[in-house]
Amino acid sequence: MRLLNTMSGLAAALLAPLAMAGAGDDTYEPKAQQVNDNVYAIIGPTDARTYKNHGMNANYGVITTDEGVILIDAGPGAFSGPYIERAVAEVSDEPVRWVVNIGVQDHRWLGNDYFKRQGAEIIAFEQTVASQKAFADRHMSGRLPDALGDRFEGTEPAYAAQQLEGETAAITLGGTAIELSLTNAHFPGDAMAYLPEQDVVFTGDLVYVDRMLGIHPWSNPQNGLEAFKRLEGIDPEYVVPGHGRVSDMERARRDTGDYYDFLVNTIGQAARNFEPMSDVLSAHEDMEQFKHLEHYDSWHGTNMNRTFVLFEGM
């Protein structure tokens, strides 16, 4: 009984900040939490895109400098822009001066236009921009506008004016060094950003913790595995995943790295060996190792299926 009381007390304490954030208004209010030094992360909810979270169910980066704020990914659109600005204002007096796009998924870049109109410079790899353009029509008429309704109004695609060539690039903004590299895992053109001085990596949608990553028809788990190995080579102290809480490499490996390894080296390998797909999928339906991940039930089967089909064609 005593244990029960303690636990419910703890649960109440954990829930209290959430309840306060929701008081009076039902709209998700992002907050920037410090990761290390001048580096902050906005950790979005791990559920789906909803009207309440206005599509901010992903993580974003905020880096403060004396010359202006660097935003890692722009958010889902025009509506979220002022919410991000308010989160930024709590940790810096400077405006958002640069937006670095490391993602091609809708809620990572459709906020570009808003920040561009506020005077920010958008920076991205050429390949990221090319992929955003290829997905723009789909994103402007897909799940995001469906979920957001009137909160999607005023959102328009906009692209980086400063485009980086190749697969890796080192830039310095406001005295902060950022090493960018393409991952091409969740979407073609996705990238990650390493801040060597602060030892933080923003992985974009390469890494998911707390929730299961999703393999879309355009995702590439082989690229994911290779990019994850490069991330392990960097071995940062702080990992800001695309979704889920700020982590270390151990958790990133457990929730994502090991899963890419399973997809490629178990499912992909079985496809290459011409094993029957239905046998392979049912043999690995029950993966105790990954069941702690949110959305396991809705994604695991699909992920195996898409990986099998991809490797069958290779």
Task: Name the residue nearer to Zn ion (CB basis): 121 or 294.
Answer: 294
Distance between CA atoms of 187 and 164, rounded to whole angstroms? 18
Task: Please answer whether residues 128 and 160 qualify as being in contact, where contact means their C-beta atoms are separated by less than 8 angstroms.
Answer: yes
Q: Which stretch binds Zn ion (CB under 5 A): 20-28, 38-46, 103-111, 188-196?
A: 103-111
Total residues contacting Zn ion (rule CB under 5 A)?
Answer: 4
Task: Supply the minimum distance, in Å, between the C-beta of residue 242 and Zn ion.
Answer: 5
Task: Supply the minimum distance, in Å, between the C-beta of residue 186 and Zn ion.
Answer: 6
The answer to whether 190 contacts Zn ion (rule: CB under 5 A) is no
Task: Name the residue nearer to Zn ion (CB basis): 113 or 205.
Answer: 205
Tokens 């406001």 sit on residue: 174
Q: Which stretch binds Zn ion (CB under 5 A): 57-65, 70-78, 222-230, 296-304?
A: 57-65
The answer to whether 205 contacts Zn ion (rule: CB under 5 A) is yes
Q: Which of residues 228-267 bind Zn ion (CB under 5 A)?
A: 242
Distance between CA atoms of 9 and 21, rounded to whole angstroms? 19
Task: Please answer whether residues 267 and 306 qualify as being in contact, where contact means their C-beta atoms are separated by less than 8 angstroms.
Answer: no
Task: Supply the minimum distance, in Å, between the C-beta of residue 223 and Zn ion.
Answer: 15
Closest CA to 174 of 47, 66, 262, 15: 66
Beta strand spans in the chain (E):
32-36, 39-43, 59-65, 68-72, 96-100, 121-125, 162-164, 168-173, 176-182, 191-195, 200-208, 238-243
The answer to whether 59 contacts Zn ion (rule: CB under 5 A) is no
Task: Name the residue nearer to Zn ion (CB basis): 101 or 176.
Answer: 101
Residue 270's CB is within 10 A of a number of other CB atoms, namely 22
Task: Supply the minimum distance, in Å, between the C-beta of residue 86 and Zn ion.
Answer: 22
The answer to whether 105 contacts Zn ion (rule: CB under 5 A) is yes
Task: Supply the minimum distance, in Å, between the C-beta of residue 187 and Zn ion.
Answer: 9
Distances (CA, A) of 263 to 183, 291, 304: 17, 15, 7
Q: Which stretch binds Zn ion (CB under 5 A): 52-60, 75-83, 153-161, 274-282?
A: 52-60
Residue numbers at the binding site for Zn ion (CB under 5 A): 58, 105, 205, 242
